[in-house]
Amino acid sequence: MHPLYLYNTLTRKKEEFSPIVPGKVGMYTCGPTVYQYATIGNMRSYVFADILRRVLEYNGYSVKMVMNITDVGHLVSDADEGEDKMLVAVGREKKTPWEIARFYTEAFMKDAALLNILRPTALCYATEHIEEMLQMVVELVEKGYAYETSDGIYFDISKFPAYGQLSGIRLQDQLAGARVEENPEKQHHADFALWKKAPKEHIMQWPSPWGMGYPGWHIECSAMSRKYLGDQFDIHTGGVDHIPIHHENEIAQSESCTGKIPARFWMHGEFLLVDGGKMSKSLGNTYTVHDLVTKGFEPLAFRYFCFSAHYRSHLNFTWPALESAQKGLRSLRTMVQRSSRGPEKPGAEEKMGRFRELFLESVNDDLNMPKAVSVLWEAAKADLGPGLARLAGEFDRVLALDLVKGPADEDKVLELSELPPEVQALIEERRLAREAKDWAKSDRLREQLREMGYQVKDLKDGYEVTRIP
């Protein structure tokens, strides 16, 4: 009817999806590095992976989703340079790396749950798979794909001619423009660490054939995806930043061991921007889910906001945009929930069938969520009676916006403390204007509040605020 099409970074085109084993999908998602709170940018990536999983399930597949938790190994930049992030966190928080990893893993899982991101079928920790990683490193050394230096074991990319197939970055070009090498023992600057030898003071270290050490970042995903999903599985996901290094390296390691590319489909989520630029600590705009909640937003308003752009496009976060997502979500729920209280409408079933088709067509077109949400809006305006609530319940298997049970606009009188701070400020300004008998200003402010979705009703001795449905 509507086959599922997914964009494959590897082939650079949308392809019709069919799994290796009929009816079943194996999917691996690169998980977080747990030494600080996840940002809303990180969370956009996981909302994308969750949508993919839910759309596969909506299509009737049984999905095994595996996600790693990087609690060791991704200590420096993707290219093995720079400072050890976990050690920075250890210095900052005066805790052991294990305590830090546990704390931020729990925080991440809580944020994911608040965004209705389903728990992976298997959640695997790098520190619990050192054995599997070492086996793979040994295999690569034995097969001649890796070499030893004074500080570790490195993958030799010259032994893997397909290197660069995902990003389209040609090794030859890199060789021509090779930059000054920070590690002179590496044969090519793109050779990467499979295993690092640990200096005595390094906190996390394990025994290996090369003495005490710790794994490189990339090997964890190769070892764990192989363990839980086999030598080849259906889909591998991550953020676009993974394409040029992390996923190239994963492919090189896995394929050199097994002879097969580990996944058939490689899918990547584009970045979230904030105020049109990169999120950065120095700009103070690395927001977390907690920051949104503190400002009075529902976490699900962010999920809904994520659907305003296709996953392969940039999405620009601003507070007004989140505000309008929150309003949109509440109005949608209000329409859905009111519909369930009304009488059945003749002809609704037929119209619902058409909306079902359009919804499936949208999500199956490489997860076109902006289109899928617009189909729901059309349905909400199509006078379906209680059919709308039934339809929204079905679509919510993918959207997961709590459409049927979640908080909606009501005629409930709101306390000042329940309102976002900017609304509180306008209400106070209006109260002062009325005290000063500045009726024009008071009316102007009432209109401004109305545009923001709030109705202010003046009483003999005060006022009442309600949300406009």
Q: Which of residues 2-31 bind ligand AMP (CB under 6 A)?
A: 30
Distances in whole angstroms, Cα of residue 184 to Cα of each of 75, 172, 191, 194, 215: 20, 19, 11, 17, 20
CB of 64 to Zn ion, least distance (A): 17
CB of 234 to Zn ion, least distance (A): 16
Residue of the chain from 9, 33, 116, 334 that contacts ligand AMP (CB under 6 A): 33
CB of 67 to ligand AMP, least distance (A): 10
Q: Which of 194, 205, 204, 211 is nearest to 134 (CA)?
A: 194
Q: How far apart are CA 383 and CA 380, in angstroms?
A: 7
CB of 31 to ligand AMP, least distance (A): 7
83 SS3 class = coil
DSSP string, 215-229: E-HHHHHHHHHHHHH
CB of 29 to Zn ion, least distance (A): 8
Q: Which is nearer to ligand AMP, 71 or 396 (CB)?
A: 71
346, exposed or middle or buried, with CB in 10 Å at 0-12, 13-18, 19+? exposed
Q: How far apart are CA 346 and CA 341, in angstroms?
A: 16
| Chosen from Zn ion, ligand AMP, none, partner binding at 97 (C-beta under 5 to 8 Å by type) | none
Binding string, 352-391, against ligand AMP, x = CB under 6 A?
----------------------------------------
CB of 93 to Zn ion, least distance (A): 25
Q: How far apart are CA 50 and CA 303, in angstroms?
A: 11
CB of 310 to ligand AMP, least distance (A): 13
Q: How far apart are CA 17 and CA 3, in angstroms?
A: 8
Counting contacts by CB under 6 A, is residue 241 touching ligand AMP? yes
| Chosen from ligand AMP, Zn ion, none, partner binding at 41 (C-beta under 5 to 8 Å by type) | ligand AMP
CB of 397 to Zn ion, least distance (A): 27
Give the interface size with Zn ion as a residue count (CB under 5 A): 2
Distances in whole angstroms, Cα of residue 12 to Cα of each of 8, 27, 166, 177, 396: 6, 19, 9, 26, 30
Distances in whole angstroms, Cα of residue 57 to Cα of each of 25, 26, 119, 291, 364: 9, 12, 14, 31, 12
Contact partners, residue 238, CB within 8 Å, separation at least 6? 29, 30, 45, 246, 247, 268, 269
Residues in the chain: 469
| Chosen from ligand AMP, Zn ion, none, partner binding at 252 (C-beta under 5 to 8 Å by type) | none
Residue of the chain from 19, 152, 213, 239 that contacts ligand AMP (CB under 6 A): 239
Q: Which is nearer to ligand AMP, 245 or 398 (CB)?
A: 245
CB of 118 to ligand AMP, least distance (A): 17
Counting contacts by CB under 6 A, is residue 42 touching ligand AMP? yes
Residue of the chain from 133, 146, 221, 267 that contacts Zn ion (CB under 5 A): 221
Counting contacts by CB under 6 A, is residue 44 touching ligand AMP? yes
Q: How far apart are CA 387 and CA 29, in angstroms?
A: 36
356 SS3 class = helix
Q: How far apart are CA 76 and CA 94, in angstroms?
A: 20
Q: Which of residues 199-238 bind ligand AMP (CB under 6 A)?
A: 238
Q: Which of residues 262-301 bind ligand AMP (CB under 6 A)?
A: 269, 271-272, 279
Stretch that binds ligand AMP, among 17-25, 39-47, 321-329, 428-436 (CB under 6 A): 39-47
416 SS3 class = helix
Counting contacts by CB under 6 A, is residue 45 touching ligand AMP? yes
Distances in whole angstroms, Cα of residue 331 to Cα of each of 12, 359, 391, 469: 38, 19, 16, 6
Residue of the chain from 4, 6, 27, 30 that contacts Zn ion (CB under 5 A): 30
| Chosen from ligand AMP, Zn ion, none, partner binding at 44 (C-beta under 5 to 8 Å by type) | ligand AMP
Question: Closest residue to ligand AMP, Cβ-based?
Answer: 239
Distances in whole angstroms, Cα of residue 289 to Cα of each of 32, 63, 241: 15, 27, 22
| Chosen from Zn ion, ligand AMP, none, partner binding at 221 (C-beta under 5 to 8 Å by type) | Zn ion
Residue 293 near residue 269, CB atoms below 8 Å: no
Residue of the chain from 19, 26, 41, 215 that contacts ligand AMP (CB under 6 A): 41
CB of 228 to Zn ion, least distance (A): 13
Say which DSSP state 245 is in: I
Question: Which tokens belong to 237?
Answer: 């996901």
Residues at the site binding Zn ion, with contacts judged by CB under 5 A: 30, 221
Interface contacts to ligand AMP, rule CB under 6 A: 30, 32-33, 41-42, 44-45, 238-239, 241-242, 269, 271-272, 279
